[in-house]
Amino acid sequence: ETGVTQTPRHLVMGMTNKKSLKCEQHLGHNAMYWYKQSAKKPLELMFVYSLEERVENNSVPSRFSPECPNSSHLFLHLHTLQPEDSALYLCASSQSQGTNQPQHFGDGTRLSIL
């Protein structure tokens, strides 16, 4: 039990589909993050939320739309994705925003775009 749960674990979708990734943390943290992990590349930070407010958007295309309804839940809404968006999407949380607190990761959603 990592304390950060992501669903679904695997997702296959066509380029015209709309789907959502879900993340839930049971650690009482106030900050949540979305990362993209592609083969042979460093983890890429996509979005940061602190106390349900988006504080960073790392030049991510608008086909990715995050939502944070409360401090325990984070969503990533997907629409009209491209094949290069196939990757492992990781959610993380920390006690507060920034890196003076350790980040705890979920096990990710493996996304494949047909």
Q: What residue ranges bind another protein (CB under 8 A)?
A: 2, 4, 6, 40-43, 45, 48, 55-56, 90, 92, 96-100, 102-108
As measured in angstroms, the least distance from the Cβ of 54 to another protein is 13
Q: Which is nearer to another protein, 20 or 95 (CB)?
A: 95
Q: How many CB atoms lie within 10 A of CB 63?
A: 14
Tokens linked to 85: 């968006």
Tokens linked to 78: 């997907």
63 pairs with which residues across the strands? Answer: none
Distance CA 63, CA 82 (A): 9
Q: Which is nearer to another protein, 67 or 107 (CB)?
A: 107
DSSP designation for 5: E
Q: Which is nearer to another protein, 21 or 48 (CB)?
A: 48
As measured in angstroms, the least distance from the Cβ of 106 to another protein is 5
